[in-house]
Structure 1
Amino acid sequence: MALVAAACSSSASNIQGLDSSRRERRHRDSSCSSSRIVVVSKLEQGIPAAGSSKSFGILKDRRDFSSSSNFFLKIRHLQARQNNLGDEIFRWLSTQQKSDGKLDSYATWCMSLAVMISVMITPADAQAFVNTSTQRFLSDELVTINLFRNSTPSVVYITNLAVRRDAFTSDIMEVPQGSGSGFVWDKDGHIVTNYHVIRGASDLKITMGDQSTHEASIVGYDQDKDVAVLKIDASSNKTLRPLPLGNSSELLVGQKVFAIGNPFGLDHTLTTGVISGLRREITSAANGRPIQDVIQTDAAINPGNSGGPLLDSSGNLIGINTAIYSPSGASSGVGFSIPVDTVAGIVDQIIKYGKVTRPVLGISFAPDQSVEQLGVSGVLVLGASPDGPAGKAGLRSTTRDAYGRLVMGDIIVSMNGQKISKGSDLYKILDACKVGQTVNLEVLRGEETVTMTITLEARD
């Protein structure tokens, strides 16, 4: 208001110097007075005056409205009235022109400056509640948006097709029997996903981020770790964008993560969460073998997300979304991802050899619950192939005598000095071994303990 008053005073003095007419001077004084009345009335009505130190009264109004449930609505109303201030000022200027016939250029300049200053000093936090023509995002929102835009072209939708015979016409048809997610591993066209996504497929169809579709072939898979590698014709899609690999050994609980996949057939869906736990253990959906060092996250993982990537805040791959813990089958905030350090070694072997070479003993063993019922701790050998490593070393299988009574086989209690209480303990030790390595096995045979040496061989 001070700026407006000063402008009117300056205008009056300049016009007085130009024209000595008393009537004209009285007319201008009266006009200036009326402008002051207009400015005061606007402040009383809640419409801010140009140049007011209260910055349109928004700071005061916001304090008054802070306890009201209609705070956001009133803020928008104040913003709307602020936007209409310019129109009201120009209407006032037009009125002055009609009454005076001519307006001082200095007064016009002062009025414009007052409007500009008042707009610039409007509190930013008050404007944050109002939708403007230019959409604004918070810094963490921009990170998420850019991550999704950059990573989406690397995520694919996998359709598992199976051959079925029509019950009425006996015609052979190819129908979808499942779907899942995957991601581009390299520019040669390799796609990585879960084995259970492609299990039992006669054909596989890959839908890329640009909605183009490709036929895929199976390069190889690892049932034990639930990982599979597919391949599409890279020449038909020259814009393949592999995901950058992260380091799962450096992950921390509480770290923010992002999951991209196709839950329930909804392609390229983003969910966010944090790492809830590390070094979890789950069982493979293919054969029940335990998978160690799994990442637990509360990012929503639903049916269809299997095989999709789990990313860190930089967009680096840190895991493959594999399983959820849920009584209903939908996300309950407990999801699991195979760490990228495990996946990378498996994928490299599959691409190079077409399979994963893993050492085995060549035995089958009883479920843990059955052994517990016998009151012993360890792994009960049910069968040992004569041509396998354990059979060659003399490990005994479970059999029946001439009367049909069960004769228990050897019970493995330790390997290389590490205690074995259940099947998962045996798998953990074998995962750390190599083909051709010699191990010392301690077994319980009847009432005595027997130690033997076994040379591990590759699985056929």
Structure 2
Amino acid sequence: MKQFFHLFLAALIGGVAAAALVVGLNDGRPALASQASIAPAAAPLLVAQGSPAEELPAPLDLRPAARLAIPAVVHIKAFTKDRQREAVKALFSEKPPSRKPREGEGSGVIYTSGGYIVTNHHVVANATDITVTTTDRKTYPASLVGEDPKSDLAVLRIDGKDLPYLKLADSDAVEPGAWVLAVGNPFGLTSTVTAGIVSARGRSINLLSDLDAIESFLQTDAAVNPGNSGGALVTADGKLAGINTAIASQTGKFQGYSFAIPSNLVQRIADDIIAYGSYRRAFLGVEISTFTNSDQQRLGLNNRTEGVVIDAIFAGGSAAAAGLKVDDLIVRVGKRTIRDLPELTELIGRARVGETLKLTVVRNGSEVEVVVPLID
């Protein structure tokens, strides 16, 4: 009995001491009874079954990129006088034609601090007057330096100095899954920023009607709507990855897919327009198409699934001079693997007259390297 009493007394003393310690640690305040009311002392943990606990990564902060991009994106208004339509009306009326201008809106990206601006050709096509408004609400008359309808790019010039502009990203390094911002003026809502990821590269959506048009878009899910055309697609570190150009939509408004001209192609074309007034494009002098199952069977290339087939060669072109042949399958340019037509047209479009391209082609089942000097 005495032994039981001693044990009970020891337990009682221990319990009182523990309670006093808890009260002391809480600075005299009673200990909290509800676990739900306790503020977390550390970042939440993600615990996966069978693996050690890991801290959740901090959310990506895109505000610094937006701060860089917003001042470099402008609002463009393009005015067009529909003279032909007014002239037809005048034939059936004694009233003189009003020549009321039609107004279109879009976006543009300041390309240099001296006032060159890159936008889409379709934003300023056939415009008789163009005005540019910067984010500080200054309005400038703009002149058209040059345009290239086959890539849907144009360059404008305003009389500005020390203008903010974006550094160029290497669009070849912009991978699917990378965060991007779309900056522009949708529906006239100036300086609008939306976010998404790169969904795919090298997309062709048959937007441009010319057979030799260059379509190799970056596809994103950043929201783009009418008025965003010509605006900036920006990387998470605030560099220009592309020029927003089009959306895939059945309604005319954003439905989850938007497309931008990659910055490496933008730079190539814009630099030519600034230097020469037009894009000096190199041509292979071929008719080409993406490798298909029927090509695989026809050419007996059962171990091949990707590449671009040469369907025809034109006399006097680069391909003829280099010795390329009909039914050659182009599988690499330099060290870069060619999967389909958009990739190849972009690479050729970025090459300059006078440069050489090293093509790897499959001919009669074997790989052959062909050096092609590019002529215009």
In the superposition, the TM-score normalised over structure 2's length comes to 0.63
Q: Report the residue type matching 2:180 in the other structure.
A: V
Deviations along 1:165-207, whole A, 9 cap, x unmatched? 4447433535234221111111110001111211222221111
The unaligned stretches of length 5 or more in structure 1 are: 1-50, 65-121, 126-138, 394-410, 443-452
Q: What is aligned with 1:151?
A: 69
In structure 2, distance between residues paired with 1:54 and 1:412: 88
Note if 1:287 corresponds to 2:201: no
Per the TM alignment, residue 62 of structure 1 is displaced from its structure 2 partner at its CA by 8.3
The answer as to whether partners of 2:233 and 2:242 remain within 8 angstroms in 1 is yes
Q: Report the residue type matching 2:126 in the other structure.
A: G
Distance 1:379 1:417, change over 3 A: closer
In structure 2, distance between residues paired with 1:422 and 1:252: 17
Per the TM alignment, residue 281 of structure 1 is displaced from its structure 2 partner at its CA by 3.3
Larger Rg belongs to: 1
2:29 alignment partner, one of 50, 53, 66? 53
In structure 1, distance between residues paired with 2:341 and 2:200: 23
Q: What is aligned with 1:251?
A: 174
Distance 1:152 1:176, change over 3 A: farther
Distance 1:428 1:269, change over 3 A: closer
1:196 alignment partner, one of 108, 117, 122? 122
Q: SS in structure 1 opposite 2:222?
A: coil
1:213 alignment partner, one of 139, 149, 154? 139
2:252 alignment partner, one of 314, 329, 335? 329
Q: Report the residue type matching 2:75 in the other structure.
A: Y
The answer as to whether partners of 1:323 and 1:337 remain within 8 angstroms in 2 is yes
Q: How does 1:6-25 map to 2 (within 5 A)?
A: none
The answer as to whether partners of 2:176 and 2:200 remain within 8 angstroms in 1 is yes
Distance 1:350 1:284, change over 3 A: farther
Over aligned residues, Cα RMSD in angstroms?
4.6
Distance 1:457 1:415, change over 3 A: farther
Q: SS in structure 1 opposite 2:328?
A: strand
The unaligned stretches of length 5 or more in structure 2 are: 1-26, 42-57, 300-308, 333-337, 362-370
Q: What is aligned with 2:263?
A: 340
In structure 1, distance between residues paired with 2:310 and 2:330: 15
Per the TM alignment, residue 52 of structure 1 is displaced from its structure 2 partner at its CA by 7.3
Q: What is aligned with 1:241?
A: 164
Distance 1:52 1:306, change over 3 A: farther
Per the TM alignment, residue 350 of structure 1 is displaced from its structure 2 partner at its CA by 1.5
Q: What is aligned with 1:63?
A: 36
Q: SS in structure 2 opposite 1:296?
A: strand
**Structure (1/2) with the larger helix percentage:** 1
Distance 1:63 1:331, change over 3 A: same
Distance 1:249 1:174, change over 3 A: same
The answer as to whether partners of 2:265 and 2:346 remain within 8 angstroms in 1 is no
Q: % of aligned pairs identical?
A: 34
Note if 1:171 corresponds to 2:70: no
The answer as to whether partners of 2:108 and 2:230 remain within 8 angstroms in 1 is yes
Q: Report the residue type matching 2:327 in the other structure.
A: V
Q: SS in structure 2 opposite 1:205?
A: strand
Q: What is aligned with 1:224?
A: 150
Per the TM alignment, residue 297 of structure 1 is displaced from its structure 2 partner at its CA by 0.9
The answer as to whether partners of 1:439 and 1:456 remain within 8 angstroms in 2 is no
The answer as to whether partners of 1:221 and 1:355 remain within 8 angstroms in 2 is yes
Q: What is aligned with 2:11?
A: none
* Corresponding residue pairs, total: 300
Q: How does 1:39-188 map to 2 (within 5 A)?
A: 53=29, 63=36, 123=39, 143-165=61-83, 166=86, 167=89, 169-171=95-97, 173-188=99-114
1:351 alignment partner, one of 268, 274, 290? 274
In the superposition, the TM-score normalised over structure 1's length comes to 0.53
Q: Report the residue type matching 1:187 in the other structure.
A: S
Q: SS in structure 2 opposite 1:355?
A: coil
Q: Report the residue type matching 2:328 in the other structure.
A: S
